Amino acid sequence: MAETEIIKPDLPTEPIKHSVHTLVFQNMIKSRNMFVSEYTEPVAQDEISVNLRKSIKAKSEYGPVLEMSKNLHFKSVVEKAKSTSNPTKLAEQAKAENGEPTAKKGKETIDSRALVAIANNQVIEHQTKGGMTDIIKKRMQSFIAPKWHAPWKLYRVIAGHTGWVRCAAIEPNNEWFVTGSNDRTIKIWDLATGTVKLTYTGHVSAVRDLCLSERHPYLFSAGEDKSVKCWDLEQNRVVRHYHGHLSAVNCVKMHPKLDILITAGRDCAVRCWDMRTRQNILMLPGHAGSVADMAVQAIDPQVITSSHDATVRLWDLVAGKSMSVLTHHKKSVRSIALHPTQFMFASGSADNIKQWRLPQGQFIQNMGGRENHNTIINSMTITSDNVMVSGGDDGTLRFWDWRTGYCFQELQSPVQPGSLDSEAGIYYTIFDKSESRLLTCNVDKTIKMYKEDEAATPDTHPVTYKHDYKKKRY
């Protein structure tokens, strides 16, 4: 009988126990074997960083040598131009080299040519009347002269609110406008006559900002009671509430293309709402202080905010974060104004009014140079004719030429009879749709309207512009 093979089942073996030191050492060996092939290879370097480092080193260490080479090249070009511009001198040099007698030196009667080096180091020829060749190296700068703008004058004062007038908005058809005040009311006024047509009551605290939709019959209002309300202008009542802010709401804007409402306030957050469903679809955190003003446009950056933390942020709504942070201001930035035709904007603070180019937020210039608007800038607005208006806390209105930053007019807002001189402050400025009338909201509970002086001419109001050579570029 054959012997049967008995197969014993594999018994489970006990795991080998290692100390922590052994396990760490094995892990180090595995990591080394994984990256051992890269030990002898050089560290990869960024080409842009290397070129930038080389250029900085060349400029700092070899700057005089590079400048010397440019001067030598310039001298060689000048000498060559000298020799080619005087054929008689070439003939005399050829005779002298061959040993032939040369003519006696007499007074030159032929006009010579002077070489003028312009800013881009190009050499051009210019006919002169003298008998000698002048070499002039000059850095030529081009300064833009400001365009003449007609001065503005006050022509109407509207009273009706019982508190500070904080904000205003113009109807798209330019027939009426709406204002919000510290007396918790919203009033609708006729733009032509200045008479009140309607009064809305619903907020339990001051109304801080208003926005009229161009595609819907809706008015949006933001107040210090943490609420954002949507008013139906056909039914004259509140139809939607937007709850979510933790403190006062300072600004409310409607997206020009989408049905999105954007608000910002004292809780340092920028919130995006679905206009119809009232849902908070996006929150943009980042500011360290209360958001004072906001601008919205159809293309990136779609939202621009300014804050009391002295920064201006450009936001990307798709990514849900800021594209860039502008930290040039030293004090609270209370106002932002978009240019209606150019891809630029301005930011106003107590230290300066700065001009920026979008989309990167490139700094262009300081408005006014050293003669800036030395007050707290509460509001700014810009026309398509390159006229910018800034309203200050001391009641001054300044009118600026956008291209040069030249202040061509300054007005002091008159105080309503019975008010204090300290109540001349201007909280809001806005142009109507035709840009022929300017509305200002004031601390003395009035709305003032300005228009251009029709009798003014360049002769009666000349431009006294002097370029500021010491203008700050930061």
Q: What is the pLDDT of residue 50?
A: 85
With a cut of 70, which residues of the chain have pLDDT below it? 1-16, 35-44, 78, 81-143, 369-371, 468-474
Stated as kind and residue range, the H or E segment containing 292 is strand 291-296
Residue 393 tokens, joined: 């806390």
SS3 277: coil
Closest CA to 380 of 339, 410, 409, 351: 339
Distance separating alpha carbons of residues 84 and 35, to the nearest angstrom: 67
Supply the pLDDT for residue 99: 59
pLDDT score at 108 = 42
Q: Which two tokens stand for residue 401?
A: 């030429």
| pTM of this prediction exceeds 0.85 | no
DSSP secondary structure letter of residue 176: E
> What's the rounded Cα separation, in Å, for the pair 347 and 284?
20
Where are the CATH 2.130.10.10 domain residues in the chain? Answer: 143-177+328-465
Residue 202 CB neighbour total at 10 angstroms: 17
Spatial separation of the C-alpha atoms in residues 103 and 95, rounded to whole Å = 10
List for the chain the helix, strand, coil content (%; round to 5). 15, 40, 45
* Farthest-apart Cα atoms in the chain, separation: 143
143-177+328-465: in CATH 2.130.10.10: yes
The reported pLDDT for the residue numbered 419 is: 84
User: What's the Cα-to-Cα distance from 47 to each of 40, 53, 54, 98, 210, rounded to whole Å?
Assistant: 21, 10, 11, 57, 50
- Predicted local confidence at residue 30, as pLDDT: 82
Both tokens assigned to 181 = 């005040």
β-strand partners of 307: 291
| Three-state DSSP string of 113-164 | EEEEECCCCCEEEEECCCCCCCEEECCCCCCCCCCCCCCEEEEEEEECCCCC
